[in-house]
């Protein structure tokens, strides 16, 4: 049975390590400040197949400035995971979308996970997840890793993606981030 490699990729402090801990039932250090993950961490779990999860250091771009960002870029280019799980902080969605558009160009199957949906609701924001999924042509899930909400829907999507391994279409770079942001806020 083939092992599926899943890379958790996102900006610093967006909840990658929190999701990693939920998936692998481990207890990696997390913190509310940048740079907690400074090297890649690996774990695994079963979802009808063995899923190997790699928690990569936070990055804002595929054009790295720091050593941590280089680790992430190099891993994605050299190891080619089966699936990228791109985690975005829903409260500052625009910042994460820049990286999302770059990741789509890698032609690796991807799921976008908007984290901190509990905080999005608390501040009165609404994100049209369905519209974002339609624009990006990849699955999009909303979760709260801190409260472990939306995780079941994410597992369902991960299971489907691990079977299909459908690569994203390559037309996304024509979208600008402002356009996407305004279309998905209702």
pLDDT at residue number 165: 79
In this structure, the number of other CB atoms found within 10 A of the CB of residue 126 comes to 10
pTM of the model: 0.88
Q: How far apart are CA 42 and CA 53, in angstroms?
A: 6
pLDDT along the chain (186 residues), means of 10: 89 94 72 51 88 94 89 94 97 93 92 97 95 92 96 93 77 60 70
């Amino acid at each position: 049975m083939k092992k599926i490699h899943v890379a958790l990729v996102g900006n610093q402090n967006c909840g990658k390590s929190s999701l990693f801990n939920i998936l692998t039932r481990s207890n990696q250090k997390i913190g509310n400040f940048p740079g907690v993950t400074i090297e890649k961490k690996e774990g695994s779990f079963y979802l009808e197949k063995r899923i190997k999860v790699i928690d990569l250091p936070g990055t804002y771009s595929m054009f790295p400035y720091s050593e941590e960002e280089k680790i992430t870029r190099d891993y994605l280019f050299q190891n080619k995971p089966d699936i990228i799980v791109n985690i975005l902080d829903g409260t500052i969605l625009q910042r994460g979308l820049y990286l999302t558009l770059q990741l789509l160009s890698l032609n690796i199957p991807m799921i976008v996970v908007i984290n901190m949906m509990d905080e999005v609701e608390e501040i009165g924001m609404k994100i049209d997840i369905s519209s974002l999924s339609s624009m990006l042509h990849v699955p999009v899930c909303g979760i709260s890793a801190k409260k472990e909400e939306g995780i079941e829907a994410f597992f369902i999507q991960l299971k489907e993606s691990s079977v299909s391994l459908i690569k994203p279409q390559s037309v996304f770079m024509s979208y600008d981030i402002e356009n996407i942001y305004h279309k998905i806020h209702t």
